[in-house]
Every structure is written in structure tokens, then in C-alpha cells.
Amino acid sequence: MIGRYTRPEMGAIWSDEGKIARWLAVEIAVCEAWAERGRIPAGALAVLRKATCDIERMREIEREVDHDMIAFTRATGESVGEYARYIHLGLTSSDVIDTALAMQLRDAGAVLDRDLAALEAAVAGQAVRHRMTPMMGRTHGVHAEPTTFGLKMAVWYDELRRQRRRLDLAREDIAVGKLSGAVGTHAHVPVDLEEEVCARLGLGVAPASTQIIQRDRHAFFLSVLAGIGGTLEKMATEIRHLQRTEVREAEEPFDPGNMGSSAMPHKRNPHASERISGIARLLRGYAVTGGENVALWHERDISHSSAERVILPDACIVLDFALEDMTDIIERLVVYPDQMLKNLEITGGAIFSQPVMLALVDAGMDRTAAYKLVQRYAHASWEGGPSLRAALENDPEVTARIGRDRIAELFDPAPQLRAVDAVFARLGLPVA
């Protein structure tokens, strides 16, 4: 992934140095397990524990042999002299590669979980802050009924909690190693050694494996990351709409010195939210490729590995970036409550058509008749005629059925929004 979207901690996990350090950790843990079984002398183990891999030397060997694991074992062997024969004892390449990859994904998943927790907290804070900040609720992009900005955020908060639970499942599912040998039969590495080594590395064990860990695990992990990206895009799309000039109910932070356009000095564009929308598309693409990697020939082929060198690091890196980006947007989001109130009023009260219709039905009017009556007045109001309230107050049939005082009550959004407190309580968010 390009440096623009790579944060240091996540980048270190997926760097060549990070990968090789984990390959080395697997090899040393296997040596320790063999030493406990008497296959490697104690004196040799003391040296093997200090083994290192010169990455430049490894690359030099790889140019010769065209095999990264052979290059790794040879470069590492050069650091331990005569005891090099004990490195990679009984193993096949995927034993090391897949087990180390599980460590990388486990560690990357922990970073993503912290990212999600930070975003979840930021969204919860805005939800509580704006619990009763009234705004226009929209369906199909069209004014529907009043809602609150806090409720919008509470919906996001609940979705982020679900995504975090899914990530927990994916992290558990992916954090397994395998040391079962060339086709998974344990012909050269006993099952108990595999279990012992994986435990030392902080991993579970794939109960049954071929030459590789089965790729349904990786596909699931990528699909969860893509799902989180979808939630971020949902949030970003909403912010992009709310920042439109004609709406302007909220906008991304715009720091001093920022410039929104190279040509138009007045512009303040939702560029970060747009960037997140683009990153979500990448994540969905990675998930599709992950699904394609599940079906391999017999006990293994390597059609998956070329894709995984790109999609697994990049998916973790860009999601890490996008989560941090969205957290910053939410924490410093500029909200315009006065504009929200102004937008509530632009249809002349037409948005209160449902409570009026229901009041007429409760008063005994046929529902279809009530619907058509209110619809006629609401459309006229929307098109610049008398407000819906004024039209109703001047209709003798309506006033006879529900009275002027009741009409006035129906145009107060506050009673309609009180149930928001019940939603917040259900989510465990404070209402006081």
C-alpha cells in the first residue's frame, strides 16, 4: 500500500521486516519444541535462539533460487553456522508462511479493534451531545419526518458495535497456525509439537489442514473488513450529503491553512469522506478476491498467494487509515443546529402530515379520506401556498373533528421525539 494511507503501527506489521521477524519466530519455536524432544542438542538450541535473517542477503539468494522460503532459510542458516541443519526441520514452506501470516493478521486485527473502539466512542459522544438536536429525517433523499441528529448517530453506534463483534469472530477464526507438513498428514511433525508451537506463538491450531491453512478463514476475515468499510462508507455518504451547500447541516472539520480547491478559493469540500467512500470500494474488491482464493487444486496450489501478498496487507492498512480518518471527522464534526431547524420549516409544515392524518383517523374519519385531505393541503403548502397548519385551521371539518388546540400540538416535534430516550436507554447510552 502507498505510504499516503499507511499508518506506522500497521505498516510495521506488514513490512518485510515484520514478516521475516514472524517467520523467524516460528522457526525458533519449532527448534525449541524439537530440543525438548531431544532432536536438537541444548548447545545448538542456544545458538539457534539467536538466529537472525539479513533481509538484503535473503533477497540476494532469492534472485538466484526464485523461492522466498529457501532464501530465508539459507540466509538465516548463515547466522548460526553448523547448526543451520536444524532450521526448518520437518517443515514445509506453508507451515512457516501460513503460521506467521496468522500472527500478522492477529496483530493487525488487534489494531483494527482499537481503531473501531475509538470510533465507537467518538460516535457515542456525538450521539449523546445531539440526542435532542432536531433535524429533518429523509427517505429517498426527500423530507420525511423530524428526527434528531443524536438518533442518527445512535444508529451508527449500534452498527459499529455489531461490526466490532464480527471482527472479534474473524480475529479468533484467523488466529490459527499449522505445522502439519507437506500435505497435512503430520508425517514429519507430530501433532503435539504443532499444538505446543502454536501455543508458544499465541495461536490456536487448525484442527485439520492440507499443506495450507484453508482459505475460507481468510475470506471471512476480508469479508468482515469489507463490511466495516461499508459502514464507514454509509457514514461518509451521509456526511457528504449533509455538507452540500443546499443542506449545510454538518460538515467535516476544515483546519486553518486548508485549501479545498486549486481553482476556487471558497471551496470546503468533504474530501476525507469521499476518500473513505473510495477506500470502501477497495475493501469490497479485496473481499471478492478472498472468496476466489478458497478453491484450490487438491492439497494446495499457489494461485491464492500472489493475490494475498496484495489484498491482506492492503485491506488491513487502508481500513486502519479509514477508521482513524473517520474518527477524526466525527470527533471534530461541525454541526449546524440552526440550519437543521431552518430546513425543518422549508415545506411549510408538510412534514407533519402523518400525525395529522392519524389524528383525523382517531377522530373517526375514513383513512383514505383523511390521507387525501391532508395530502392536498400538504402539497399546496410545499409548493408555496398556505402552511399545512394554516390550511387545516381554516378547514371547518378538520377543526370540528380535532379542534385548533390539537392541531397546534400536532405541529410540535418535541413530543414525537421523546421516544428517542427509550432507544438510547436500550443502547446503554445516557439520556440525562
Residue type, 334: V
Residue 354 corresponds to which amino acid? Q
Q: Active-site residues: which are they?
A: 140, 261
* DSSP-assigned beta bridge partners for residue 134: 148
* Phi and psi torsions of 180, nearest 5°: -100, 5
Contact 243, 252 (CB under 8 A): yes
Degrees (nearest 5) of the Cα angle 47, 48, 49? 90
Cell numbers placing 156: 451508527
- Alpha-carbon distance of 388 to 394, in angstroms, equals 10
Q: Nearest CA to 70 among 84, 50, 82?
A: 84
What does the angle CA 340 – CA 244 – CA 379 come to, to the nearest 5 degrees? 60
Find, among 273, 192, 200, the residue nearest to 237 by Cα. Answer: 273
321 HSE (CA, 13 A, CB side): 25
Give CB contacts under 8 A, 24+ apart, made by 134-143. 134/340, 134/341, 134/344, 134/413, 134/414, 134/417, 135/249, 135/337, 135/340, 135/343, 135/344, 136/249, 136/340, 136/343, 136/344, 136/351, 141/241, 143/343, 143/346, 143/347, 143/350, 143/351
CB-CB contact of 319 with 283 (8 Å): yes
**CB-based contact 312:101 (threshold 8 Å):** yes
Helix (H), strand (E) at residue 191: helix 191-200
Buried b (16+ CB within 10 A) or exposed e, 305-326: beebeebbbbbbbbbbbbbebb
Is residue 403 within 8 A of residue 410, CB to CB? The reply is no
DSSP string, 358-390: HHHHHTT--HHHHHHHHHHHHHHHHTTSS-HHH
Q: How many residues does the chain have?
A: 432
Burial profile 189-218: b = 16 or more Cβ within 10 angstroms, e = fewer? beeebbebbbebbebbbbeebbbbbbbebb
